[in-house]
Amino acid sequence: MSYGQPLTRLSLNGQTGNGMEGSPMNGRPNGASLDSQYNGGPAGPLSGLKAVDPDILKQRLYSYAPQQTPVNPHVLRFNRITQTQVRKSNIPTAPKLEPVPSLQKYQERNQPEYIQKKNREKIEAEKLAKMQMEVDVSKSLKRKSMVPPPLERPPGAPPSPLPDLPDDLKLVQESMGPKVPTPAKQQKPSTPRGKVHASGPVIPQSTKPKVLETYEGLCDTAKITDLIKEHEKIGFLYLSPAVPKSSVNYHYYNLKVVNHENINKTDYCTISQKGVTRIRSDDETEFVTLDRWELEYNYFRKLIKIPTFALFRKWKAFNVWRGNVKSKKIAHCKKALNANLFIVNPSLRPALMNVREMCHRISDMGLCKVEKGHTYTLREFNEAQFNQLSEVAGRLMEFRDLVKEVVRSACRTALLEAGFTPDDYFYDGAESPGEFGGAPGTASSFLNESKYDVDIYGEAPDKMTYTEQANKREHCKRLTCFIRLADYLIVNTMHVLAVNSVSTLLNYLTEQLQNTPTLAQIQGVEQPGEPVKTEEEKEEDEVAVLPPLYITEFVLEPMQLLFSPDIEEFQEGIAEVIKRFQDAVLSVQNLVPDTYFDAFTRPIINNKFEDKTCGEGPSLSTMFDDDKHLQIIITSIKDAITGAFRAASQYADTFEPHREFYRENESTDLELVKSQDHDVAWFSEALERYHGQHKMAELIKEKRPIGMLLVDGTKMKQLIIPSPLRCLDCVNDLLPKLARREVDRLIAELQDAQFKLESVPSTTIEFVKSLTFLDDIQVRIEPLEKESMVVKDMYELIDTFHVPTPLEDFAVYQTLGPSITNVRNCHRQGTGREGCQH
């Protein structure tokens, strides 16, 4: 049941009117009770209604918020201070950054209090302007009604001889004219609520002299000063800052002329001929004489032309802006680094440092092992490197297993601290997840942290919420990135280990190559001007040089002199060693594809494995292929081996005569030589040649260091020496036999001739034969002597070259000379006997 507008004591009072007390109304005497009139009194119009209680009516009109929120018994409460609260309390409070002046001013202007204040000022200004307009209108009406209109000069009439009045005199004239009395102000009827809806206070018109409209807004301080000096009647002017403090044009002397109503009460000035008074709400009032003010203003104008002061505001604004931008960028970068750097994560930092330390230690281990002072064959060198690699491979496997444990422990700790349980937390990685009554992840893996009083082994909800799924997925992605970072550290360490090992091998070869002798030293040619060294000095110099690293030997063939092993075998052997270096470090597999980390790379969320999106990790083989530095080192190793064999080839060239006579000797058919007849000159040349070859073969050094290589000529020497000896044996076999045969032939012929010459003919026929033989022997004696000289040369060769000859042959040879002498004597005797007979 509604009665329209509720009736209250206040509203009823407003209806009856407060200003009409003491006068009769509706036949009710003044002073009668309102309750009796309106609440059921005998004379009231509402005598039939129930009385209204104002307090109950107010409770119906107003509603209040509850004093205290009811306690929710299901809210989770903490019995102690949580770790999050502790961390938040330990975070240092960042210093409050004040905004730039323009921004601060903008914020102040947008405050509700400021807007309300400006609206009030605007309303008051409009009221004042309206009142002023009403006064001006009343004055003009009064003037028009009391002052007759001026006479109009007829057209064509001459101008008035009186001068026109200036504006200031016209104002004075108007102010001195008769005034129309202001009508009495009528009292406004009161509102139903009385004083509650009364209008605001009326601001009386200022009694201070007004500034002329021509001067208001003047901003030139110099002109204002001159105006005050020239016009004494002005009295004084109000000055306020022409621009707000946030403007770049604000300064102490940038003022403008304003009315008293428009002054800035916090900062304004009054200027007169006495001086300038500066009034500030936050400082003491200052007074400066006008001359001093003008002098300081001129100084100020000169100062602001100096670049330091002229650009100060720009410099300050730029520095503030720069500082704010810099601090914002630093804060943004700091936030990004804290979110993305694993080194700042307290759970992952120890593991990362441990992995780095282990990588540093393992990088100092060498894959190449070379004993200084030891000379290897190519096979021994390769076996030594392969044995070293076998030992290193075992240590690398131990290193990887240790890194796996460290990384997984760190990932588990980080995931637990994030509030999730790793999928393999309750079972060993080698066991099947299904052994625990279902795959891990079928229940929610989201856990309250240890700061919550919740048992982590308690029952979890059947399924994870979408927020939990997203959070766990994001944390697992970050941990996968951490595992990949460990992979990059390991791969980089393995790469450095392989490159350092190959560089170590190159250093060994380069050091050996520096000991390579010069071409003159290799050929055994003494340089002019150098003292000739003895054999002992040469041996001492060779001992002082670093022993060669590799050994190779000569292989003598009739058409060429080869090395065993040769340069191709050395290149293949070194390339195999380098390949084994790379295979050893490639045996360390990446951690990301390892099933050991499936709890983080493929987490189980809501009984389903997430797809692995991390890939296979960094590829060390690709790094080897793309590493130009490593390829340059390998090329340098090949060049070093090529340089070593180039020097060895120069040394092999010194054995070209040996190879040549070896080829000739091997191609000689000794049987054919034996079947042919040879003279003394041939025997002389053959003996001299073969003995010279034998001496050359004897002078061959069995082993000689040529820089990196120790050239072994033992087999070559053993092969060359028999070649001239075989030919020499053939010659030694032919020469004594031929000499003995010739000796026997000559002695037989000489003995036969001696016998015939010594015999006495007994018959005529015998005498004739004797005479004929004397003639023949006379012709034959000289050739026999020549032939004996040839035999003599043979035996001299035998004696000179120590050709093995039986002593009997020498004894027979000794009888050759007397036989010739006897034949010559017999021939002489036979010739004398023949003359006597005639």
- For residue 446, the cross-strand partners are 420
Q: DSSP code of 611? A: P
Residue type, 565: P
Listed residue (832, 827, 834, 838) closest to 758, CA to CA: 827
Contact 422, 347 (CB under 8 A): no
DSSP string, 594-630: -GGGHHHHS-B-SS-BPPP-STT---HHHHHHH-HHH
Domain 742-837: which CATH number of 1.20.1420, 3.40.50, 1.10.287, 1.20.58: 1.20.58
Contact 805, 736 (CB under 8 A): yes
User: Is it the case that residue 73 has pLDDT exceeding 50?
Assistant: yes
Distance of CA 149 to the CA centre of its chain: 97
CA distance linking residue 363 with residue 498, whole number of Å: 9
Tens-digit pLDDT profile for residues 77-117: 667 777 777 877 787 766 666 666 777 788 888 888 889 88
823: tokens are 């034949």
CA distance linking residue 704 with residue 551, whole number of Å: 10
Ranges of each domain in the chain: 9-61, 221-305, 306-340, 346-514+564-633, 742-837
Give SS3 for 241: strand
Burial 356-394 (b: 16+ CB within 10 A, else e): eebbeebeeeebbebeeeebbebeebbebbeebbeebbe
Highest mean pLDDT among 140-154, 200-214, 322-336, 532-546: 322-336
**Element (H or E) spanning 551, and its range?**
strand 550-556
In the chain, the percentage of residues whose pLDDT exceeds 70 is 72
Contact 739, 794 (CB under 8 A): yes
CA distance linking residue 225 with residue 734, whole number of Å: 147
Highest mean pLDDT among 129-143, 515-529, 545-559: 545-559
Higher-scoring residue by pLDDT: 322, 810: 322
- Full strand arrangement of the beta sheet holding 703-706: 561-564, 550-556, 709-712, 703-706
Neighbours of 662 (CB within 10 A): 24
CA distance linking residue 638 with residue 499, whole number of Å: 16
671-698: average pLDDT: 87
User: Is it the case that residue 446 has pLDDT exceeding 80?
Assistant: no
Pairing of strands 286-289, 709-712: unpaired
Length in residues, the chain: 838
145-163: average pLDDT: 49
688-711: average pLDDT: 89
419-425: average pLDDT: 78
Which residue's entry shows tokens 């010559």?
824
Pairing of strands 550-556, 709-712: parallel
User: How confident is the model at residue 302, as a pLDDT?
Assistant: 92
Task: Choose the weakest-confidence range: 144-158, 389-403, 818-832.
Answer: 144-158
Tens-digit pLDDT profile for residues 739-762: 888 888 888 888 877 777 777 777
Listed residue (814, 804, 788) closest to 687, CA to CA: 804
Give SS3 for 594: coil
CA distance linking residue 481 with residue 483, whole number of Å: 5
Higher-scoring residue by pLDDT: 582, 463: 582
Number of H helices and E strands in the chain, helices first, is 28, 9
- For residue 654, the cross-strand partners are none
Burial 691-705 (b: 16+ CB within 10 A, else e): bebbebbeebeeebb
Q: What is the mean pLDDT of the chain?
A: 76
Task: Choose the weakest-confidence range: 172-176, 252-256, 560-564.
Answer: 172-176
DSSP string, 800-818: HTT----HHHHHHHHTHHH
Cα–Cα separations (whole angstroms), residue 721 to 387, 560, 663, 684, 694: 40, 17, 13, 20, 6
Backbone φ and ψ for 70, nearest 5 degrees, come out as -65, 145
> Kindly report the CA angle at 824 between 818 and 830, in degrees rounded to 5?
135
Backbone φ and ψ for 564, nearest 5 degrees, come out as -140, 115
Burial of 424 (0-12, 13-18, 19+ CB in 10 A): buried
Torsion angle, alpha carbons of 787, 788, 790, 795, to 10? 150
Listed residue (510, 484, 704) closest to 601, CA to CA: 484
Backbone conformation region of residue 607, classed left if phi is above 0, alpha if psi is from -120 to 50, else beta: left
DSSP string, 518-549: PHHHHHTPPPTTSPPPPHHHHHHHHHHSPPPS
- For residue 289, the cross-strand partners are 275
> Kindly report the CA angle at 791 between 786 and 793, in degrees rounded to 5?
95
User: How confident is the model at residue 40, as a pLDDT?
Assistant: 42
User: Is it the case that residue 17 has pLDDT exceeding 50?
Assistant: no
User: Is it the case that residue 402 has pLDDT exceeding 50?
Assistant: yes
Residue 612 banded pLDDT, cuts 50, 70, 90: confident
Listed residue (743, 833, 737, 746) closest to 781, CA to CA: 746
Cα–Cα separations (whole angstroms), residue 610 to 113, 444, 590, 605, 701: 57, 15, 20, 7, 74
Contact 191, 198 (CB under 8 A): yes
Residue 202 banded pLDDT, cuts 50, 70, 90: very low
- For residue 241, the cross-strand partners are 255
User: Is it the case that residue 448 has pLDDT exceeding 50?
Assistant: no
- For residue 553, the cross-strand partners are 564, 712
CA distance linking residue 406 with residue 482, whole number of Å: 12
Pairing of strands 236-241, 267-272: antiparallel
Contact 452, 322 (CB under 8 A): no
Tens-digit pLDDT profile for residues 273-319: 999 999 988 888 899 999 999 999 999 999 989 999 888 878 988 99
457-485: average pLDDT: 77
What's this model's pTM, rounded to 2 decimal places?
A: 0.57
Contact 271, 290 (CB under 8 A): yes
End-to-end CA distance of the chain: 215
CA distance linking residue 510 with residue 633, whole number of Å: 11
